[in-house]
Amino acid sequence: MPLRILVVDDEPNILATLAPLLRSRGYDVTTAMNGRGALEAVERDNPDLIVLDLGLPDMDGVDVCRLVRDGRATPIIVLSARGAEDDKVRALDSGADDYVTKPFGVEELLARVRVALRRTDVTPAQSGPIVLGSLVIDRERFRLVRDGEEVRLTPKEFELLIFLAQHPGRVLTHRAILKAIWGPHAVDQPEHLRVLIGSLRKKIERDPSSPRYILTEPWVGYRFADEPA
Amino acid sequence: MISRDALVLIAGLAVVAAATAVLRMFLAVSPTTVALALLLVVLATATLSRLWVAIVVSIVAMLVLNFFFLPPVGTFTIADPENWVALFAFLIVAVIASQLSAAARDREREAVSRRNEVTRLFDLSRDVLLTETAGGLEALTRHVSRRFDLAKVAVCLPADEGWEMHQGGEEPVVIEEADLERTLASTRGVLEFDAHARAYSGYTSVMSASGESISLIPLRHGTKAIGVLAAVAPGVDLGTLDAVAGVAAIAIERVQFLREREAAAIVRQKADLASMLLASLSHDLRTPLTAIRVAVENLRQDSLETDARREQVRVALLELDRLTRLFQDILDMARIDAQGIVAENQWVSPADIVDAATAYVRHALEGRTVRVEATSDADVEVDPRLVSAALAHLLENAAQYSARDQPIGVAARAGASGFEVSVTDKGPGLDPGELDHLFERFYRGRLARQASFGTGMGLAITRGLLAAAGGRVWAENVPGAGARFTIAVPCPTRAAAGVE
């Protein structure tokens, strides 16, 4: 049975092009043109993925994210035409999994769709080593092996690496990472995160200035590479 | 015209004569009584008039006393040296009394002139507070001229090159720039107050070519001289001019401050506009670009069926149209902003303008009924390009804001005052609250915001184009219908050629 994607956008011509695109790649597509219609379609069709434009006429796209996330784990990819990072961050913090900025390339969108859909059918294992490219993360023994050699990490660095590696391919906002590593009181201190990311990159990246594992999403957060280049 | 002094003189002499005549009738009257009576007359004269009048009257009184009353009566001989004393007494009384009264009168005159000066200065400062920036300095100089009755007065400010002269009187003050330079230079590093002249140092006066004396008073901001007040003011004293210069300097400061504030507001407005433009463009550009990009990538798929292929082509073309229109709007807006639009008037018929406008927005009017009512058989002299472009925006709006099955009404006519055309739709009409904002840039009607069409520039462009054409546009609700937008361009009209 094909995976079902709900596309929500108020521009008829975006729907008229995105729907055929996704259908041609074998997905089952339904569409909605406003927030209310989107919520109804979620109830009715139970889609596997939602592609959601943030600028909807009847409600804030961020609210749609929150309402969908309330009780459902359906991944959400946000389309933003605003170019405003604030909106993306708000959407991601409200439960969206990823974002694509208009105008986007078709392959970029399709890649994000694949990553988001993969996450739903493989719940990450809670134990056992994580293998990513040349990295082997042994969660039980707090060990990291890179190219067959052990790399020493501080406890915080290890915690951050595990958190990122558990969400491969997904954008994690500064706020979400800060909350996971330091706790809710630290969410307004992004400088902690910058420093820690910097030291972790030095240990796991071959070239920290052009990272392969920990990718920067400017002004939004970080993404742990799904398929390291 | 007999002067007041002459009148007092005649009156004094008459009283002396009358007193003499009366006193002569009583032979028993002693010379002392006569002397005292005449002294009263001298005193009265001295109080009422000037010194010379008093002296003339006192000499006449003394002669009369001598001739008629002092022995030997009937001659001017003074036998008794005592009578010399009487004569001197007359003179001294006359001099002292007239000095005292003259001093009192001077003080009064000065008080009155001070009061006038204060009143005028007060009026002038009130004028200054009401001065707006537009032509502020000319207005200021005019106020100075009016309040102080100066036919020639100018505020001279040093400019980048030479001097900026703001003339206020009926005739211009003609003055060498070198004199102004010298006046300004003399104030540097010096600030003294001349208590006698009631003026700060630095004032001077020069002779004009026509032989008038022009007073030059430095205008000071604090201690720094910022310009020169030049006035031909024979009747106004230096202290007053200095006070006027003080008020003028405050006014100049105020005008400059207002100008700076206006400039800052314009800069801020431009920044606001720029950020609105960015936000608007961000949406308006990205959406069609996204649709076109995805549509074209879809077309690359060989597996796409013919119908689907056509649909993708249609979407891409529609969005390209939208981009083109947006691009045109941005260009028009930029031209309006740069004031690069010049009207080129020619004789056209109102119907031609409507035809051109409908052709221009054919895509938006596709499938719509447009009822054109061009009742006039007169031609108008307008810029048809500008007016039809403006009308096209109104037609496009009418199409966007009303249902597809509703007709759009266009009424064009050449009236006595020029060309007028209105567009009426059967949409929901205008919210009373939005009437004020309709023509603002990036303002979108409620419907447009919901359905996210339009650039929010159409009506602003309409207004800009019409302003260039010398016309205007306004909006109203039509009872029982929707909104009506009317364009009016004042212009000459004439009976259409070739009608006969």
What's the pLDDT tens digit per position in B103-143?
888 888 888 888 888 888 888 888 877 776 667 778 888 88
B321 touches chain A (CB under 8 A): no
Mean pLDDT of chain B: 82
Residues 6 or more apart whose CB falls under 8 angstroms from that of B268 comprise none
Residue A84: its pLDDT value, please? 65
Same domain, A116 and A134: no
Which residues 70-89 of B are in CB contact (within 8 Å) with A? none
Residues 6 or more apart whose CB falls under 8 angstroms from that of B38 comprise B16, B19, B61, B62, B64, B65, B90
Residue B499: its pLDDT value, please? 44
Residue A87 lies in a domain: yes
Residue A23: its pLDDT value, please? 92
A24 contacts on B by Cβ (under 8 Å) = 298, 301, 303-304
Question: What residue ranges define each of the domains in chain B, with the CATH number in brackets?
Answer: 4-109 (no CATH), 143-262 (3.30.450), 278-333 (1.10.287.130), 346-495 (3.30.565.10)
Same domain, A116 and A34: yes
User: Which residue type, as a one-letter code, is found at position B69?
Assistant: F
B284 touches chain A (CB under 8 A): no
**Local confidence band at B450 (pLDDT 50, 70, 90 cut-offs):** low
Same domain, A171 and A210: yes
Same domain, A112 and A138: no
Residue A10 lies in a domain: yes
Identify the three-state secondary structure at position B243.
helix
Q: Which residues is B418 bridged to in the sheet? A: B415, B490
Highest mean pLDDT: which range of B79-83, B152-156, B437-441, B453-457: B152-156
Residue A229 lies in a domain: no
pLDDT string in tens for chain A (229-residue length): 789 999 999 888 899 999 999 999 999 999 999 999 999 999 999 999 999 998 888 888 899 999 998 888 899 999 876 556 778 888 888 888 888 888 888 888 998 899 888 876 555 556 678 887 788 888 888 888 888 888 888 988 998 998 888 888 888 888 889 988 888 888 888 888 899 999 999 988 888 888 888 998 888 889 888 765 5
Q: Tell me how far apart the alpha carbons of residues B1 and B14 are, in angstroms, rounded to a whole number.
A: 20
Residues of chain A whose beta carbon is less than 8 angstroms from a beta carbon of chain B are 10-11, 13-14, 16-18, 20-21, 24, 55, 57-58, 81-83, 101-106
The helix (H) or strand (E) run that includes residue A146 is strand A143-146
From residue B186, give the alpha-carbon distance in Å to each of A59, B227, B326, B378.
71, 12, 61, 69
Give the position of tokens 């990291």: A144
Residue B76 phi/psi, 5° resolution?
Answer: -90, 10
Residue A27: its pLDDT value, please? 94
B287 touches chain A (CB under 8 A): yes
When pLDDT is averaged across residues B426-447 and rounded to a whole number, the result is: 77
CB contact under 8 A, B294 and A18: yes
Residue A121: its pLDDT value, please? 53
Same domain, A116 and A148: no
Same domain, A88 and A107: yes
Other beta carbons within 10 angstroms of residue B136's beta carbon come to: 19
B323 contacts on A by Cβ (under 8 Å) = none
Residue B448: its pLDDT value, please? 64
Residue B484: its pLDDT value, please? 92
Q: How far is A152 from chain B (nearest CA, A)?
A: 46
Handedness of CA B222, B223, B229, B231 (dihedral sign): positive
- How long a stretch of residues is chain A? 229
Same domain, A17 and A83: yes
Residue B240: its pLDDT value, please? 82
A16 contacts on B by Cβ (under 8 Å) = 291, 295, 311-312, 315
Task: DSSP letter for A220, please.
Answer: T
A55 contacts on B by Cβ (under 8 Å) = 283, 452
Q: How far is B289 from chain A (nearest CA, A)?
A: 6
User: Which residue type, as a one-letter code, is found at position B116?
Assistant: N
Which among A63, A96, A121 is the end of a domain? A121
Nearest to A14 among B279, B287, B297 (CB): B287
Nearest to B291 among A14, A55, A101 (CB): A14
User: Which residue type, as a one-letter code, is found at position B348?
Assistant: V
Residue A160 lies in a domain: yes
A101 contacts on B by Cβ (under 8 Å) = 286
Q: How far is A104 from chain B (nearest CA, A)?
A: 6
If you write DSSP's letter for every residue of B434-496 in order, what string do you get?
Answer: GTTTTTSTT---HHHHHHT-S-S-HHHHHHHHHHHHT-EEEEEE-TTS-EEEEEEEE--EEEP
Give the position of tokens 């090159």: B161
**Between residues A172 and B50, the one the model is more confident about:** A172
Q: Tell me how far apart the alpha carbons of residues B453 and B484 are, in angstroms, rounded to a whole number.
A: 20
Same domain, A183 and A159: yes
pLDDT digits (tens, 9 = 90+) for B212-224: 888 888 888 877 8
Which among A59, A93, A121 is the end of a domain? A121
Residues B204/B183, Cβ–Cβ less than 8 Å: yes
Residue A23 lies in a domain: yes
B294 touches chain A (CB under 8 A): yes
What CATH number has the domain bearing residue A47?
3.40.50.2300
Same domain, A112 and A137: no
**Between residues A214 and B238, the one the model is more confident about:** A214
Interface test with A, best of B294, B300, B323 (most A CBs within 10 A): B294
Q: How far is B405 from chain A (nearest CA, A)?
A: 20
B290 contacts on A by Cβ (under 8 Å) = 14, 17, 81, 102-104
CB contact under 8 A, B318 and A13: yes
Complex confidence, ipTM: 0.71
Which among A73, A102, A121 is the end of a domain? A121
B317 touches chain A (CB under 8 A): no
Give which of B428, B419, B360 is closest to B395, Cα–Cα. B360
Same domain, A108 and A140: no
* B318: nearest CA partner in chain A: A13
Same domain, A151 and A116: no
Residue A162 lies in a domain: yes
User: Range of A159's domain?
Assistant: 130-224
B449 touches chain A (CB under 8 A): yes
B451 touches chain A (CB under 8 A): yes
CB contact under 8 A, B311 and A20: yes
Residue B447: its pLDDT value, please? 64
pLDDT digits (tens, 9 = 90+) for B354-379: 988 888 887 788 888 888 887 777 88
CB contact under 8 A, B290 and A55: no
Other beta carbons within 10 angstroms of residue B220's beta carbon come to: 20
Q: Tell me how far apart the alpha carbons of residues B63 and B485 are, in angstroms, rounded to a whole number.
A: 99
Other beta carbons within 10 angstroms of residue B171's beta carbon come to: 10
CB contact under 8 A, B286 and A16: no
Q: Where are the alpha helices (H) located in B131-176, listed in sequence order?
A: 136-147
Q: What's the structural domain count of chain A?
A: 2
Interface test with A, best of B284, B290, B321, B446 (most A CBs within 10 A): B290
Same domain, A143 and A200: yes
Handedness of CA A200, A202, A207, A208 (dihedral sign): positive
Residue A228: its pLDDT value, please? 57
Residue A180 lies in a domain: yes
Give the position of tokens 């959406």: B287
Q: How far is B349 from chain A (nearest CA, A)?
A: 40
What CATH number has the domain bearing residue A211?
1.10.10.10
Task: DSSP letter for B432, please.
Answer: G
> Exposed e or buried b for every residue in B93-117, given b needs 16+ CB within 10 A?
bbeebbeebbeeeeeeeeeeeeeeb
Residue A44 lies in a domain: yes
Q: Tell me how far apart the alpha carbons of residues B146 and B169 are, in angstroms, rounded to a whole number.
A: 8
Q: Which residues is B420 bridged to in the sheet? A: B413, B488
